[in-house]
Amino acid sequence: MSRTEIKIGGMGGQGVILSGYILGRAASIFSDRHATMIQAFGPEARGSACSSQVIIDNNQIDYPYIIAPNIMVILSQEAYNKFVPELASGGILITDEELVNPTALRKDIKHYSIPATRIAEELGKKMVINIVIMGFFTAITKLLEVESMRQAVLASVPMGTEELNLKAFNSGFEHGEKIIKEELETSVV
């Protein structure tokens, strides 16, 4: 699939916009692909609903708006309720299992969840939840190379936080790799 549409939803302050920025940067700067990002948020800086919409394509992107996201990352229950109906059939849904309770989960999508909040807290900073999710996203979707994502994370986070953010990314990535391995073993049995 050449064009991949991604929607990240959550609340202001969760790093939703930064996550979209990191994905776009990994694709366009570190993977020689094309990317666009559109962000939407309420007038409040924190606590209001927000989303980041990213398109990644091998070719130039003529239309920068998502039609039906192939991948959705959800970090709040409000975002789940509001955005999940938009997810394309056959799409991938990624959630934080401690912040989102997927009700009436659709049968036509694949759902993966991670205890991103707990992992971030174990690392000492709850605010790296979005970077944990980006590592998990990378392992689950295989959309972008892990090294491209690591470079984008390091280039996008505040100076002095690189080591913590890299640990967060790697923790999410390792959790995703473990889930993929378990999924493969289950399908073989």
- The DSSP line for 15-53 is SHHHHHHHHHHHHHTTSS-EEEEEEEE-SSSSSSEEEEE
Domains and CATH numbers, the chain: 4-188 (3.40.920.10)
pLDDT in tens, 104-122: 888 999 999 999 999 999 9
pLDDT in tens, 44-94: 556 677 899 999 999 999 999 999 999 999 999 999 999 999 999 999 999
**φ/ψ of residue 174, rounded to 5:** -65, -40
For residues 11-19, average pLDDT: 92
Amino acid at the residue 61: I
Yes or no: say if 6 and 70 are a contact pair by the CB < 8 Å rule: yes
- SS3 (DSSP) at 2: coil
pLDDT tier for residue 143 given thresholds of 50, 70 and 90:
very high
How many other C-beta atoms lie within 10 A of the C-beta of residue 184? 9
CA 104 to mean position of chain CA atoms: 21
For residues 162-175, average pLDDT: 98
For residues 26-47, average pLDDT: 84
The label of the residue with tokens 């999924």 reads 183
Please count the residues of the chain. 189
